[in-house]
């Protein structure tokens, strides 16, 4: 995964850092009495994925997820560094609070919003927030983000006519965008310009060339998405030194079944739409970087890799959608795609000396995966799985069935207790996220939660240790989004023969308190089980309090 050392037998990690990569013998000489030696049985280790552009934190709500949940999903896909791309002032505040609360587990760069998806101008408020470049920092202000054309709001600005009329939406004139980029550069900012259509890409290229004025792109100004890079624009990326950010997953099924792209954009631009083969051929050596753009496209890293390499897609029934010949010819190789998804994306974030490859002196941001992507049939890339995700030497995700391969570190080292298995505390649950175990619902702290990580029905149960008289049960809601819920309280002396004590049925929201206070205290209660049968959210509780008279 380093150009001059593509494979290695062993890796040594100390604290947050990789201290050596080499043969088994070389690495074993470094071990001491406290060293954990883990034999991976020949399993593949690779650097954590770096997603150069997504919306994991600002758009989690669009997928009915909390920021913790979307972050957990990214960790399970092996993403250890990312850039969150929509950050107006309130999101910046929210991200800082998230980090201060100790919840940020993925190295995150924020690009501060100059203009939004509809071209609405938020302004140069970013000038009060200096970009940061501290090695290994978890939260970085990376630079400024602006939008040259439509895509999410309005349409990509094309030079070819849309079948339903028009040429899409450019938000600025060339003079305006030149000035905005030059201003941000003069203040020391890296600029990331959203440009989908070829007219917007051309404008963004011109603006970066204007600001750089013939000098090298030491600011690493980027163009985001680049789907409609017209053939005559391709070599300009290298000529100007622009850092391009490229989509991975291609909607092949929708295109071959419903002409998803060609009926919307017209057939004319199809030969160059996301044609990364032509893009790389025209720009040898340029650090082209991958982005998922989640939730607007899939965050599944191995699906993205599979799509880059085969342009195939698997539909919901498991059928493979084969690309027509013209589309298949746009594919790139695994050896080209993996650097885009790791070291090149790290370069786009000024983090290539910290992460993005496995090398002594870099942070131990790495994955154990189910097979070697460079050795398997490309058709099988989609079946690859992440077994462990480590960020800065801490295991942040470990697949239950491969727990023996995961080093024991201070962070959560497994996906929580097996469903239903009571822990020593007498607390059990139907399912749990590794980060939010059931004990968190009984720790007296409403800031820590139990989260099943799953939709209803889900349950959590406590064994009080002996038959007890209960005068009240209070539940503090953890729920996103708000909505109608049904929660049942069951109790009794025999775990296998509980009685329904109460049902809450109604609208709830975070952080409501639901209280059940029977008219006379209930005696002989040893087990209390809360079953949620309806909720718009993953089932979770901030706190469950049981009171005795």
Q: Which residues bind Zn ion (CB under 5 A)?
A: 85, 293
> Max alpha carbon distance in the chain (Å)?
82
Give whichever of 82 and 525 is closer to Zn ion, judged by the CB atom.
82
Nearest position to Zn ion, beta carbon: 293
Sequential DSSP letters for 154-168: S----SSPPTTSS--
Give whichever of 293 and 313 is closer to Zn ion, judged by the CB atom.
293
CB of 413: closest distance to Zn ion in angstroms?
Answer: 33
Burial class (CB in 10 A: 0-12, 13-18, 19+), 13: buried
CB of 293: closest distance to Zn ion in angstroms?
Answer: 5
Query: What letter would DSSP give residue 23?
Result: -
The encoded tokens of residue 198 equal 């070829």
CB of 145: closest distance to Zn ion in angstroms?
Answer: 9
Give whichever of 88 and 511 is closer to Zn ion, judged by the CB atom.
88
CA-to-CA distance for 58 and 55, rounded, in angstroms? 5
CB of 119: closest distance to Zn ion in angstroms?
Answer: 15
CB of 53: closest distance to Zn ion in angstroms?
Answer: 6
Give whichever of 202 and 293 is closer to Zn ion, judged by the CB atom.
293
**Nearest residue to 472 via CA among 514, 425, 531:** 514
C-alpha neighbours within 13 Å on the C-beta side of residue 514:
23
Give whichever of 151 and 287 is closer to Zn ion, judged by the CB atom.
151
The encoded tokens of residue 214 equal 């013939």
Give whichever of 18 and 85 is closer to Zn ion, judged by the CB atom.
85
CB of 200: closest distance to Zn ion in angstroms?
Answer: 14
Long-range contacts of 115-118 (CB under 8 A, 24+ apart): 115/146, 115/147, 115/171, 116/86, 116/88, 116/147, 116/153, 117/86, 117/147, 117/150, 117/151, 117/152, 117/153, 117/194, 118/150, 118/153, 118/154, 118/171
Give whichever of 247 and 504 is closer to Zn ion, judged by the CB atom.
247
Give whichever of 85 and 273 is closer to Zn ion, judged by the CB atom.
85
CB of 225: closest distance to Zn ion in angstroms?
Answer: 7
Is the distance from CB of 267 to CB of 221 less than 8 angstroms? no
CB of 121: closest distance to Zn ion in angstroms?
Answer: 18
CA-to-CA distance for 361 and 366, rounded, in angstroms? 14
Please name the residue ranges forming H helices in 249-392.
Answer: 252-258, 260-265, 276-282, 301-310, 325-328, 334-341, 343-348
Phi/psi at 85 (5° precision)? -100, -10
Compute the CA torsion angle 342, 343, 349, 351 (nearest 10 deg): 120
Give whichever of 85 and 449 is closer to Zn ion, judged by the CB atom.
85
Classify 416 in phi/psi space as left (phi over 0), alpha (psi -120 to 50) or beta.
left
Give whichever of 293 and 365 is closer to Zn ion, judged by the CB atom.
293
- For residue 498, CA distances in Å to 83, 310, 528 come to 48, 54, 8
CB of 92: closest distance to Zn ion in angstroms?
Answer: 17
Is the distance from CB of 388 to CB of 367 less than 8 angstroms? yes
CB of 181: closest distance to Zn ion in angstroms?
Answer: 18
- For residue 451, CA distances in Å to 57, 363, 439 come to 18, 29, 10
């Amino acid at each position: 995964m380093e150009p001059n050392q593509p494979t290695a037998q062993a890796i040594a990690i100390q604290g947050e850092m990789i201290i050596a990569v080499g043969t088994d013998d070389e690495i074993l000489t470094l071990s001491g009495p406290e060293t954990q030696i883990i034999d991976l049985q020949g399993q593949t280790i690779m650097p954590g994925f770096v997603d150069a552009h997504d919306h994991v934190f600002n758009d989690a709500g669009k997928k009915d997820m909390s920021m913790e949940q979307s972050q957990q999903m990214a960790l399970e896909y092996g993403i250890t560094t990312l850039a969150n791309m929509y950050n107006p002032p309130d999101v910046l505040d929210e991200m800082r609070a998230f980090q201060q609360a100790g919840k940020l587990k993925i190295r995150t760069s924020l690009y501060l919003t100059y203009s939004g998806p509809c071209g609405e101008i938020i302004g140069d408020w970013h000038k009060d927030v200096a970009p940061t470049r501290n090695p290994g920092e978890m939260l970085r202000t990376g630079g400024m983000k602006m939008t040259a054309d439509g895509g999410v709001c309005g349409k990509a600005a094309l030079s070819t006519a849309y079948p339903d009329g028009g040429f899409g939406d450019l938000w600025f004139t060339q003079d305006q965008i030149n000035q905005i980029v030059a201003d941000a550069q003069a203040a020391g900012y890296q600029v990331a310009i959203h440009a989908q259509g070829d007219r917007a890409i051309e404008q963004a290229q011109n603006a970066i060339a204007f600001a750089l004025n013939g000098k090298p792109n030491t600011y690493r100004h980027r163009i985001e998405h680049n789907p409609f890079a017209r053939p005559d624009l391709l070599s300009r990326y290298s000529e100007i030194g622009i850092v391009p950010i490229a989509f991975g997953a291609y909607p092949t099924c929708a295109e071959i079944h419903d002409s998803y792209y060609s009926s919307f954009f017209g057939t004319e631009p199809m030969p160059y739409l996301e044609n990364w083969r032509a893009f790389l051929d025209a720009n040898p050596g340029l650090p082209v970087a991958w982005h998922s753009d989640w939730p607007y496209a899939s965050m599944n890293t191995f699906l993205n890799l599979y799509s880059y390499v085969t342009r195939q897609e698997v539909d919901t029934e498991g059928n493979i959608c084969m690309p027509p010949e013209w589309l298949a010819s746009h594919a790139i190789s695994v050896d080209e795609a993996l650097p885009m998804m790791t070291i090149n994306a790290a370069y786009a974030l000024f983090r290539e000396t910290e992460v993005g490859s496995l090398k002594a002196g870099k942070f131990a941001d790495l994955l154990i995966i189910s097979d070697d992507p460079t050795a398997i049939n490309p058709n099988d890339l989609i079946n690859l799985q992440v077994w462990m995700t480590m960020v800065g030497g801490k295991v942040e995700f470990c697949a239950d069935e491969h727990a023996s391969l995961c080093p024991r570190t201070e962070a959560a080292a497994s996906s929580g207790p097996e469903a239903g298995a009571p822990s020593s505390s007498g607390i059990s649950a139907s399912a749990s996220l590794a980060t939010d175990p059931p004990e968190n619902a009984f720790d007296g702290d409403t800031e820590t939660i139990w989260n099943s990580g799953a939709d209803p029905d889900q349950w959590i149960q406590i064994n009080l240790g002996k038959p007890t008289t209960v005068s009240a049960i209070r539940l503090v809601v953890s729920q996103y989004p708000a909505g109608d819920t049904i929660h049942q309280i069951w109790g009794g002396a025999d775990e296998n023969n509980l009685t329904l004590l109460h049902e809450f049925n109604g609208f709830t929201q975070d952080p409501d308190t639901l209280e059940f206070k029977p008219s006379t205290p209930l005696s002989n209660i040893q087990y209390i089980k809360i079953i949620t049968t309806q909720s718009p959210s993953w089932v979770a509780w901030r706190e469950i309090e049981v009171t005795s008279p």
